[in-house]
Structure 1
């Protein structure tokens, strides 16, 4: 259960910068908010990319999910706060119907569920990137959201996120090849175990 007294590290869900189907940018904006408002906590914050080699990952409790059925994403991105004060990890998923923030254990039980019983093509892997690294290295020109020059979903109203070195490296973050990109790659059970263990 979520500990009473835990204060969200972001603004309320309704006031967060959010664009449907741009989860990677939503999380980047959450990291940017933490860096601006409570920079001392940034070291406890991570961007978490969920995908696999086939880019078919089921997640439950998603706003776009039909009833109790999962949504099959090619990838999804959430924010994780590994709180040293509370000895607990919390998930911020602006696309979920679960609380935001949500205790990682509860999120794991209801949104991730388990790879057991799923075909291997649907087993989830996770790339975990420290927020400070994510803010400095992530770039997207949003070209993945265009087909024949037409937006598949309306883009965010603010300029594309770029770095001095790149205008588009999203695929490096989605990749679950540990030799590619930044951060650490875990299997789903490894991720849950690592971030629910006592801090």
Structure 2
């Protein structure tokens, strides 16, 4: 799908494999799709984990939100495409009511808004992982979605994502300590500036 000179990495949002409340796996599957269908673009694609030390991060324009109030997630995961073709960055968030893909600046203005005016407990940090690295290193046995042996939300229909080294390392990706895990950790404002200016 092409729009305003930008070639989307998917045919439509509805074509993406999606399971509610499993955003990290939705993004993993989207990265897998890009690598298989458009391998020349995979180097422009990143998994983006949003969280903080207290795991209380507000996001606006979410499908589960109510009116103009934010949803407070413990973490959320989106995909970033830094397009060399049109010189702009785009966000793929399968849980937003904004367009998907959405120009990063529009997403920043409407979904992230600003940490200014928020209590420090709600300031957002971002871990950015190149798609190929994410595909090689991420693993989840989905145990975080079980309570007393019961699923809190139905799991995806495909097997758990594993690597030769791990069956569960989700916490390393949610952790916003730069010395832990893979990728680069940014304050929210740094992330927006970096990916809107460095094209």
Pairwise TM-score range, normalised by the shorter structure: over 0.9
- Report the Cα distance in structure 2 between the residues aligned to 1:32 and 1:137, rounded to whole angstroms: 13
Q: Secondary structure at the match of 2:78?
A: strand
Contact 1:49/1:128 (8 A) holds in 2:
yes
How is 1:4-153 mapped onto 2 (pairs within 5 angstroms)? 4-153=4-153
TM-score, normalised on structure 1? 0.98
- Report the Cα distance in structure 1 between the residues aligned to 2:3 and 2:198, rounded to whole angstroms: 14
- Report the Cα distance in structure 2 between the residues aligned to 1:103 and 1:131, rounded to whole angstroms: 19
- Report the Cα distance in structure 2 between the residues aligned to 1:11 and 1:159, rounded to whole angstroms: 25
Q: Who is 1:196 aligned against?
A: 196
- Report the Cα distance in structure 2 between the residues aligned to 1:172 and 1:36, rounded to whole angstroms: 26
**By how many angstroms is 1:187 displaced?**
0.1
**RMSD across aligned positions (CA):** 1.0
- Structure 2: gaps spanning 5 or more residues: none
Over 3 Å off, 4+ runs: none
- Report the Cα distance in structure 1 between the residues aligned to 2:67 and 2:11, rounded to whole angstroms: 28
- Report the Cα distance in structure 1 between the residues aligned to 2:6 and 2:122, rounded to whole angstroms: 33
Q: Who is 1:185 aligned against?
A: 185
Kindly provide the CA deviation profile for residues 174-197 of structure 1, in whole angstroms up to 9, marking residues without a partner as x: 000000000000000000000000
Contact 1:124/1:188 (8 A) holds in 2:
yes
Count of aligned pairs: 198
Q: Secondary structure at the match of 2:179?
A: coil
- Structure 1: gaps spanning 5 or more residues: none
Q: Who is 1:173 aligned against?
A: 173
Q: Secondary structure at the match of 1:47?
A: strand
TM-score, normalised on structure 2? 0.98
Q: Secondary structure at the match of 2:107?
A: helix
- Report the Cα distance in structure 2 between the residues aligned to 1:7 and 1:95, rounded to whole angstroms: 21
